[in-house]
């Protein structure tokens, strides 16, 4: 299967794990994952438009747009099980993708979500896409996901801020549909010091599926995955 949404086909017999990135990021966010998850899982980082190899393509600004284009790619995967993982914005996309695939008769074997509140609570989150550029930069610095000095470079911000704003629009304009619960296992990850997650916002994920829903809180903030990837990998491959 050839598609701009996924990396070129690679050899490997593991269960495909499609990984959706956080706001402002791309497939490179998962560059360390293959070594941690092989051979049990074959990591397929999703390539969103407007960044990396798809830099010249228009950015998408809604969950519906992205899922409408990405769902057929998932449904065209070779026969057999597959799984979904998403961090932050990617968690929201992975959830809606799981819903779309389930409705089409091909649900994922497992859904992993990280660093995002339960989807029915998304409307309570700050509307970050409405911030000024200066406010966006300060917010990004507060997350400590990258060197703050890099966020002072005008040439970097010129490339980065449109992507970040588009992705924040994806989250900030999301309206939770009246979905039936999924019927698959869901595993929820979060950093114990994640300032983006209000108290109790993870518990709502228990309503997302009639299957088992397990919560794992690990040390760290919103970008806890940087330090806790091995711990996450152990859970995913167990």
Catalytic residue check, 23: no
List, edge to edge, every strand of the sheet that includes 110-114. 41-45, 15-20, 83-87, 110-114, 186-191, 213-218
Please list the residues that pair with 216 across neighbouring strands. Answer: 189
What is the C-alpha separation between 96 and 73, in angstroms, rounded? 14
Q: What is the pTM of this model?
A: 0.95
pLDDT of residue 13: 76
β-sheet bridge partners, residue 17:
43, 83
| Three-state secondary-structure class, residue 55 | coil
What does the pLDDT read at residue 11? 58
DSSP code of 54?
G
CA distances 209 to 164, 184, 206, Å, are 30, 6, 7
In this structure, the number of other CB atoms found within 10 A of the CB of residue 201 comes to 18
User: What CA–CA distance (Å, rounded) separates 77 from 80?
Assistant: 8
Walk along the chain (238 residues) in steps of 10 and give the mean pLDDT of each run: 80 88 96 94 97 96 98 96 98 99 98 97 91 93 82 91 97 95 98 91 96 97 96 97
Residue 18's beta-bridge partner residues?
44, 84
Catalytic residue, chosen from 13, 23, 62, 88, is 88
pLDDT at 150: 85
Distance (Å, whole) CA 29 – CA 115: 14
Indicate the domain borders of the chain: 15-237
pLDDT for the residue 128: 94
CB-CB contact of 29 with 45 (8 Å): yes
Domain 15-237: CATH superfamily is Alpha/Beta hydrolase fold, catalytic domain (3.40.50.1820)
């Amino acid at each position: 299967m050839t598609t701009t949404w996924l990396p070129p086909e690679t050899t490997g017999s593991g269960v495909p794990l499609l990984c959706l990135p956080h706001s402002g990021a791309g497939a490179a966010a998962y560059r360390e994952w293959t070594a941690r998850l092989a051979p049990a899982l074959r990591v397929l980082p999703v390539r969103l438009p407007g960044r990396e190899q798809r830099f010249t393509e228009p950015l998408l600004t809604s969950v519906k747009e992205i899922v409408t284009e990405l769902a057929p790619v998932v449904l065209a995967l070779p026969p057999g099980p597959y799984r979904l993982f998403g961090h932050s914005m990617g968690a929201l996309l992975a959830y809606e993708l799981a819903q779309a695939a389930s409705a089409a008769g091909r649900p994922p074997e497992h859904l992993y979500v990280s660093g995002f509140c339960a989807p029915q609570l998304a409307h309570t989150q700050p509307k970050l896409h409405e911030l000024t550029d200066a406010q966006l930069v300060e917010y990004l610095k507060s997350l400590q996901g990258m060197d703050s000095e890099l966020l002072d470079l005008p040439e970097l911000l010129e490339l980065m801020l449109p992507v970040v704003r588009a992705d924040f629009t994806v989250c900030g304009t999301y309206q939770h549909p009246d979905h039936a619960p999924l019927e698959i296992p869901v595993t929820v990850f979060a950093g114990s010091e994640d300032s983006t997650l209000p108290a109790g916002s993870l518990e709502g994920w228990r309503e997302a599926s009639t299957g088992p829903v397990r919560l794992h809180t690990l040390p760290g903030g919103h970008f806890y995955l940087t330090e806790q990837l091995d711990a996450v990998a152990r859970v995913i491959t167990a």
